[in-house]
A = this chain, B = another copy of it.
C-alpha cells in the first residue's frame, strides 16, 4: 500500500522533510478492509485512529429503538475514530465499518504519541484537522437544532455535492436524522422544482 493520499494531506497543512516522512511511515499500520468489515464495534475500546487512503468508512451508533445514526462518513483523505474511547480507554459508543472495499492506515495511541514526539510538526496538522472537524460538527448540530429536513438536505448537498452518488439513500437519511421516506419526498420535490 502506498502513502500517497496521506502525505498529500500532510503537505497541504505542514512541511515535512523526506526524513520525517520516512519516520512517519513506521508508525502507521496498513489495513485493507472488505465492504461491511468493522474496525470498531460499540462497547469495545477504540485502539486506533484510521486514515482512509482509499474508498470510504462510516461511524454510527444504534439507539435503544434499533435505529442507526450516522456520525460521520470518511472519504479518501479523511480520518475516523471514536475520539472519546481512543483518548480515555472507555468503551466506544460508535461502530466503524467500510462502505466499500477500503484501504486504511491505522495509528495506535502509543504510535501517535511517539510520532508526535519524534515529529512535533504534526501537532499542528492534527490541531488544524480537529479544528475543521469541530467546525463541521458544530454546523451539523446547529442545523439539526434549527433547520427542517429540506434545509438540512440542501446544506449537505451544498457542502458535499457528490454525496448522493457515493452513499446509499437510507444512509444519507440516517446522517440527516430523517426517515428514508422523508428524504425520498424531499428529493422528488427538488427534482420537480428544477
Contact = CB atoms under 8 A, between A and B. Distances in A.
A145 B146 contact: no
Contacts of A138: 71, 83, 137
Interface string A43-67: 0000000000000000001010001
Interface of A: 61, 63, 67, 69, 71, 83-84, 87, 93, 116, 120, 123-124, 126-127, 130-131, 133-135, 137-142, 144-147, 177
Query: Considering residues A69, A126, A134, A147, which has the most beta carbons from chain B within 10 angstroms of its beta carbon?
Result: A134
Contacts of A67: 146
B137 A177 contact: no
Tell me the interface secondary structure of chain A in the complex: helix
Contact of A135 (B83, B123, B147): B83
Nearest to A86: B131
A124 B123 CA distance: 6
A61 B144 contact: no
A133 B69 CA distance: 20
A77 B61 CA distance: 31
A50 B126 CA distance: 21
A63 B131 contact: no
Contacts of A141: 71, 137, 140-141, 144
B144 A144 contact: yes
Contacts of A139: 84
Contacts of A63: 146-147
A135 B87 contact: yes
A69 B145 contact: yes
Contacts of A133: 134
